[in-house]
């Protein structure tokens, strides 16, 4: 029996990547005096690596950009990422990143039916509460029994760790939960933890391989704006 819905955040609850995280990274780079700029296609390639700090390191490894003299690369990346998070939170506070269609509807219906809710994401915890507060109100983080986010597990998606950690904390069997994801990395993570997963695609992930997902939809759907099914059974 389904007892809980586990929400991915970036790309699933909101289209945060192109006009949110990407912009915030670029603002942090400029502030740090770096001439790095992640354009929309480049950022799409970099999304292969989840986690902002991991993404910066991957960019350094693969694009060999000019770097200042640094003693400790990990600390320098962490500082740059902290500045990025501040910019991202400011974008959220300005209300520039809305929820995707059907997300509020599903949360409202799930809460009304007593479904347990949690967040399972690789992004930084403040980014999750910032998005929820900006879009659903100040008390909305409390609607989620657990916010599993960021460095809480060392191995980020596509590793199963964030899902197995969440199941353990909530005392759930994998088949008592359902994951909502938007990307191949998210689907691989949920599937590796045996959590059934439904996908809503976005511009960055429409071409991903969603093997293992129960169904793939364009979005969650709401009155006047129905979801279309890309693969798998249509929603009731
Ligand atoms: C989301 C991510 C995150 C965000 C940036 O992946 O990979 O890294 O892009 O957030 P998923 P941070 O949706 O699969 O969880 O910079 O805070 O890491
Ligand atoms: Mg995602």
User: What DSSP state is assigned to residue 15?
Assistant: -
Would you state the pLDDT for residue 234? 67
- 190 φ/ψ sector (left φ>0, alpha ψ -120 to 50, else beta): alpha
Would you state the pLDDT for residue 27? 98
Number of CB atoms found within 10 A of residue 114's CB: 7
User: What DSSP element (H or E) covers 190?
Assistant: helix 184-192
Asked whether 15 lines ligand 1 (CB < 6 A), one says no
Contact yes or no for 169/188 (Cβ under 8 A):
no
Asked whether 121 lines ligand 1 (CB < 6 A), one says yes
Write the residue with the smallest CA distance to atom 10 of ligand 1: 123
pTM: 0.95
Residue 117 has pLDDT above 70, yes or no: yes
**What is the rounded average pLDDT of the residues 138-160?**
96
Beta bridge partners of 199: 181, 216
Q: What interface predicted TM-score (ipTM) does this complex get?
A: 0.94
CATH superfamily to which 17-93 belongs: Putative phosphatase; domain 2 (1.10.150.240)
Structure-derived torsion over alpha carbons of residues 211, 46, 14, 28, reported in degrees to the nearest 10: 160
Residue 138 has pLDDT above 70, yes or no: yes
Which of ligand 1's atoms lies nearest the C-alpha of 84? 16
Domain chopping of the chain, boundaries: 4-15+98-231, 17-93
Q: Which residue, among 15, 12, 6, 31, has the nearest Cα to 85 in the 3D structure?
A: 31
Q: If pLDDT is split at 50, 70 and 90, which confidence band does 97 have?
A: very high
CATH of domain 4-15+98-231: 3.40.50.1000
Q: For 12-23, write each residue's pLDDT tens digit.
A: 999 999 999 999
Strand, coil or helix: what is 222?
A: strand
**Interval between CA 183 and ligand 2 midpoint (Å):** 6
Q: For 63-82, write each residue's pLDDT tens digit.
A: 989 888 899 999 999 999 99
């Amino acid at each position: 029996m389904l007892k809980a819905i586990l929400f991915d955040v970036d790309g699933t609850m909101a289209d945060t990547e192109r006009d949110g995280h990407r912009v915030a990274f670029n603002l942090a780079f400029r502030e740090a005096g770096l001439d790095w700029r992640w354009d929309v296609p480049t950022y799409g390639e970099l999304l292969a690596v989840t986690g902002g700090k991991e993404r910066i390191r991957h960019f350094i490894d693969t694009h060999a950009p000019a770097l200042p003299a640094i003693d400790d690369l990990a600390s320098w990346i962490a500082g740059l990422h902290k500045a990025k998070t501040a910019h991202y939170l400011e974008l959220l506070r300005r209300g520039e990143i809305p929820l995707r269609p059907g997300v509020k509807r599903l949360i409202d219906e799930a809460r009304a039916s007593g479904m347990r809710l949690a967040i399972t994401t690789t992004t930084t915890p403040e980014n999750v509460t910032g998005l929820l507060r900006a879009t659903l109100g100040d008390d909305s983080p409390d609607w989620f029994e657990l916010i599993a986010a960021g460095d809480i597990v060392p191995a980020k998606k596509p590793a199963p760790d964030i899902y197995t950690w969440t199941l353990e904390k909530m005392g759930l069997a994998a088949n008592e939960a359902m994951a909502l994801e938007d990307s191949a990395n998210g689907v691989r993570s949920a599937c590796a933890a045996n959590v059934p997963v439904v996908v809503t695609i976005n511009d960055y992930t429409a071409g991903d391989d969603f093997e293992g997902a129960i169904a793939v939809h364009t979005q969650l759907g709401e009155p006047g704006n129905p979801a279309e099914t890309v693969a798998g059974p249509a929603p009731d």
